[in-house]
Amino acid sequence: MKNDKKGLNTICTHIGELEDKEYKGAVSPLYMSTSYQFEDVAVKRYPRYFNTPNQEALSKKLAALEHAEAAMIFGSGMAAISTALMTFLQAGDHVVLQQTIYGGTYHFAVSQFERFGIEYSFTTGWEVEDFEKEIKPNTKVLYLETPSNPLLTITDVKGVANLAKKKGILSMIDNTFASPVNQNPIDFGIDVVVHSATKYMGGHSDICAGVVAASEEHMKKVWQTGICFGGSLSDYTVWLLERSLKTMVLRVKAQNENAMKMAKYLSESKDVDNVYYPGLEKHPGYALAKSQMKGFGGMLSFELNPEIDASLFFKELKLIKPSMSLAGIESTVLSPTQTSHALMSAEDRAKQGIKDSLIRFSLGIEEVEDLIADIEQAIAKVKSMTVTA
């Protein structure tokens, strides 16, 4: 089925589905085999080659969602990110990475690039000129993330893509926080899009996966690296991810709405110092986000007043879960300094503006009034403890 002019929900539901020719079931059949015939077949299939029936079908859906020619599904977001970066970088090359990025990507760069002879620079900000200042004659990749993890900074996607094209450099973006529902970077000229599909694509906190999407030409190169690194995904998880993608648009739109309501509530609360959400008009990236995103996303971050102990706040929550990941249908909070950005030094976190008091908040699909009530009771309990102490 072609995806020409089809809506997002239709793509999520139907593109790339496998037909159950024997029993005519409504969902794609699951092919669990890890061994396939090699004689008299058009395709020699093997899980590590990313071409089992379920892998191949899901990749078509992912490509359609990101307006790409092709896509591949990996065993985790970091498997996708590291494979994509190592595909287009080699000894003697240089890569420019945005200052505010996922802690795992940051750690990969600082712990691995040097041993492969790859040079790297982090921008001092997230404006287009910050990328341009770091470009060297041997720069091969510009890597950005917007909205960024965990401070929700906004980068001009088209601006960075144009800069990369002008300089003959490949552009790559982590589109996890936005999801294909809210942002399609390829439409703005980005070459390669990566995702942690563990997040909004999976959406139920029960799948670990990653995605790379790009042109056929670029994906052939990613495939050559991918079969060597071996970061493929089991077909059962591939099947589960296809199931989850069918409801992604419905989930993400509900999370967008909840995040906007929560951001407004927190920004008006006397117990909160700062709120980071691109949907708030006071956010410095609001106008840019509005111009390149279809929705502002389900993620925000905030800082409680100094007298409210964040660690105690986590313990008093009854409905919202203090949890390691994000983007599930249940609302979760975490401390980036203890989890997603724990591998960064305190000094490097400070450079990015990540304070120990920062709380990353992933909105689920619950009624926002119930979430607000949970926050208020938790804050009240922490305050009473402080008074008692």
Q: What is the pLDDT of residue 341?
A: 72
**pLDDT given at position 389:** 56
pLDDT-derived band at 164 (thresholds 50, 70, 90) equals: very high
Active site residue 102: yes
Structure tokens at 342: 């724990």
According to the model, what pLDDT value does residue 338 have?
Answer: 78
| Predicted pLDDT of residue 345 | 74
What is the structure's pLDDT at 2?
60
Give yes or no for residue 385 having a pLDDT over 60: yes
* The one catalytic residue among 93, 156, 174, 235: 174
Token pair for 242: 């296809």
- Decide if 236 is catalytic: no
Residue pLDDT, tens place only, 214-265: 999 999 999 999 999 999 999 999 999 999 999 999 999 999 999 999 999 9
CB 50 within 8 A of CB 226: yes
Query: How far, in Å, are 60, 92, 343 from residue 115 at the CA level?
Result: 35, 11, 18
pLDDT of residue 83: 98
> Strands 210-214, 192-196: parallel, antiparallel or unpaired by DSSP?
antiparallel
The β-bridge partners of 144 are 173
Residue 9 has which token pair?
Answer: 């929900």
pLDDT of residue 348: 75
| CB of 117 closer than 8 Å to CB of 174 | no
Bridge partners (DSSP) of residue 322 are: 333
User: In terms of residues, how long is the chain?
Assistant: 389
Average pLDDT over residues 100-104: 90
pLDDT at 167 over 80: yes
Q: Parallel, antiparallel, or unpaired: how do β-strands 170-174 and 192-196 relate? A: parallel
Q: pLDDT-based confidence at 273, cuts 50/70/90?
A: very high
Share of the chain above pLDDT 90, in %: 91
**Catalytic pick among 45, 93, 102, 277:** 102
What tens digit of pLDDT does each residue of 146-155 get? 999 999 999 9
Reading across the β-sheet that carries 321-322, which strands appear in turn? 272-276, 299-304, 358-362, 332-334, 321-322
Q: What is the per-residue pLDDT across 312-341, written as a single tens digit (0 to 9) for each?
A: 999 999 999 999 999 999 999 999 887 667
Q: Per-residue pLDDT tens for 332-376?
A: 999 988 766 777 777 777 777 777 889 999 999 999 999 999 999
Mean pLDDT value of segment 45-62? 98
The pTM of this model reads: 0.95
Q: Work out the average pLDDT over 143-170.
A: 97
Give the whole-angstrom CA distance, residue 46 versus residue 34.
6
6, 46, 48, 167: which one is catalytic?
A: 48
Structure tokens at 50: 């990313």
Given the residues 45, 140, 199, 251, the one annotated as active site = 199
